[in-house]
A and B are shown apart, each in its own frame.
Chain A
Amino acid sequence: MAVIKLERKPLTLAERTYIPQILRGLRTTMKHLVAPAVTLEYPEQRPEIPPGYRGVPTLVKDPNGREKCVSCQLCEFVCPPKAIRITPGEIAPDSPTAHVEKAPQAFDIDMLRCIYCGLCQEVCPEEAIWLQNQYSMSGYTREEMVNHKDRLYELGGTLPDQHHKWDKKKAAEEHGNAH
């Protein structure tokens, strides 16, 4: 490859005095002095969260208010830092969602361990655990930093999907397979 040698031009007298450069720099400084601020004043102004953001993991409910988690514990197994701890439980037979059979009795995510990798969301067969937009978690004690089930549902809210997978399954069982 050809090497192109560039001649470095000797500095002119004006450049060597350094003064024109300082004046030009001062002009830039003054321009920025009156320019509007580009920063956010954080607690009052919040940044816009881009889609696909991986924030604090949460549990969601379906549009009927049923908790989507069936405590299969896949997320617990896949979680690299072992932040998730699930105690599986059964659904009472007289409950309207008794056909789902299982729901977590307790679901704890230790946010001091969580690394926000999103593997739990990726592995979940029920689309029950989602990393949502909340990006700041703080607390005064270690206990406060563990998100329990009720807190997880409070953070998660409702996922507006229309799968109703379990209801369809129940209907198929009762009326015979449509296929």
Chain B
Amino acid sequence: MMDFFFQFPVWLQAAIKGLAVILVIFPIAGVCSMAERKVAAWVQDRPGPNRAIVPWVAWIPFLGKFLQRLGIFHVMADGGKMLFKEDSTPGHVNKFYFIAAPLLAMVPALTTVSVVPFGAYLSDAGAVVPLILANLDVGLLAVFAIASLSVYSLILAGWASNSKYPFLGSVRASAQLISYELSMTISILPVFLWINAPGTTGTLGLARVVEFQSGVWQGLNAASWGGVWFGFLMPVSAFIFLVCLFAETNRQPFDTIESEADLVGSFHTEYGAFKWGLFFVAEYSHMIVGSGIFMLLFFGGWNPLPWLPLASVVEWVNHLTGWAFTLHPIFVGVLSVAIFLGKVLAMIFFFMAIRWTVPRFRYDQVMRIGWRVLLPLSIANLLFYAVAIALIQK
């Protein structure tokens, strides 16, 4: 089967791989919106959506009821509603840009996935090979470059809507995203300063970052550094990155862009049906990719625990069970993707928990935190680590 796949021309292989990833991201984004409603309900001490059911699932005695209570089928109901309800375009909008905006929102959201590794397998030589659509050296730089394009879709949506609140929302969006991108980019520089030690080939690839966090415990000496996740080595970097991630993905408490209390629905006020849904899928895709990058950079990617890299786990499993297939690339790949996805979903749950914990900041507070707290803090953090790394790696 694998040989059959590798006979395809390169562009077809790339297209199939890309489609496969999109087909995973898209439903996860949909399920996230459901999880959002469900978590919101649980936090507020209510059961949440639990009515929709497909008849033939209802016939399954215990599981059917459980799935119904879990609200799984509301995802389909939501999607169906979004697809089939009337997709009205208001008369006062600029039609071309109005329709282009949600499409443009999807493009960066799905493009950034291409440079994010989501798993790994062991080659015959025992080396860890990352699963990634495009293992580029620019890696994270590409993510930042493309992700910041997403602000264009918000501006376009707000402007094309030809209405006050969407416009205000898009102005806020552009200001907020630009202010937090600075500290976000600076906060991760220490990680790459650490990785690109003098004498090694430089890279900004995320796969390399995980490789660096895949060390094993070798006693209390410098060699054990490799097993420590960067989140523990550079907690301030991780914290700044996390806060900026909340701001960049428009999540509470940095939800001033949407802020339904003062801006109705902000840039998507005039949108409905599937176009509105696309904005939301884009937002959740940003969340997923953002959480993924956070996990890769600071929490070991597909390594289950510090000092316990994927390779060791696979070795143990193989040793314990003695089954040959546990060394097969597909098994290792699925295992690593599962570990990584588990971490990402935990992160998304954290996003949701924060949403119901911290009230929304006022817009001026958002700006103050961005420019007067996070930016100086990230620069100080960079200077500290630059000096420290220079001393350690000299």
Which residues of A pack against B, CB within 8 Å? 22, 25-26, 28-30, 32-39, 41
Interface of A is mostly: helix
**B 345-378 to A, binary, CB cutoff 8 A, 1 in contact else 0:** 0000000011011100000000000000000000
Contact A37-B43, Cβ < 8 Å, known A26-B353, A29-B353, A29-B356:
no
B357 adjacent to A22 (CB under 8 Å): yes
- Chain B residues with CB under 8 A of A39: 45-47
Flag if A36 contacts B357 (CB, 8 Å). Answer: no
> CB < 8 Å: which of A26, A35, A38, A41 contacts B357?
A26
Is the pair A30, B353 in contact by a Cβ cutoff of 8 Å? yes
Assess the B45–A35 pair: CB atoms within 8 A: yes
Q: How far is the CA of A34 from the CA of B44 in the complex (A)?
A: 10
The verdict on B42 contacting chain A, using a C-beta distance below 8 Å, is yes
B39 interface hit (Cβ, 8 Å)? yes
CB pair A29 B45 closer than 8 Å: no
Identity of the chain A residue whose Cβ is nearest the Cβ of B361 in the assembled complex? A18
Partner pick for A36 among B45, B50, B353, CB 8 A cutoff: B45
Is B44 within 8 A of A32, CB to CB? yes
Q: List 13 A-B contacts (CB under 8 A).
A: A22-B358, A25-B357, A26-B354, A26-B357, A28-B357, A29-B43, A29-B353, A29-B356, A29-B357, A32-B43, A32-B44, A33-B39, A36-B45
| Chain B neighbourhood of A22, CB < 8 A | 354, 357-358
CB-CB under 8 A for A41 and B353, given A25-B358, A33-B42: no
In the complex, how many angstroms separate the beta carbon of A134 from the nearest chain B beta carbon? 24
Give complex CA distance A33, B356 in Å: 10
Interface size on B, residues (CB 8 A): 13
- Residue numbers in B under 8 Å from A41 (CB-CB): 47, 50
Residue on A with the closest CB to B253? A22
- Distance (Å) between the CB of B239 and the closest chain A CB? 8
What's the Cα separation between A26 and B349 when bound, in Å? 12
Q: Which 4 A-B pairs have the closest CB atoms?
A: A25-B357, A39-B46, A29-B357, A38-B45
Q: How far is the CA of A25 from the CA of B356 in the complex (A)?
A: 9
Instruction: Name B233-253 residues within 8 Å CB distance of A.
Output: none
Which of A26, A28, A32 has a CB less than 8 Å from the CB of B42? A32
- Residues on A with C-beta less than 8 A from B357 are 22, 25-26, 28-29
Residue interface mask B6-46, A partner, CB < 8 A = 1: 00000000000000000000000000000000010011111
Minimum CB distance partner of A24 in chain B: B357
Determine the chain A residues whose CB is within 8 A of the CB of B45 once the complex forms: 32, 35-39
Cross-chain contact A33 with B43 (CB below 8 angstroms): yes
Smallest beta-carbon distance B179→chain A, Å: 18
Q: Which residues of A contact B354 (CB under 8 A)?
A: 22, 26
Q: Would you list which residues of chain B between 39 and 61 have a CB under 8 Å from chain A?
A: 39, 42-47, 50
Measured CB to CB, the closest approach of chain A to B112, in angstroms, equals: 28
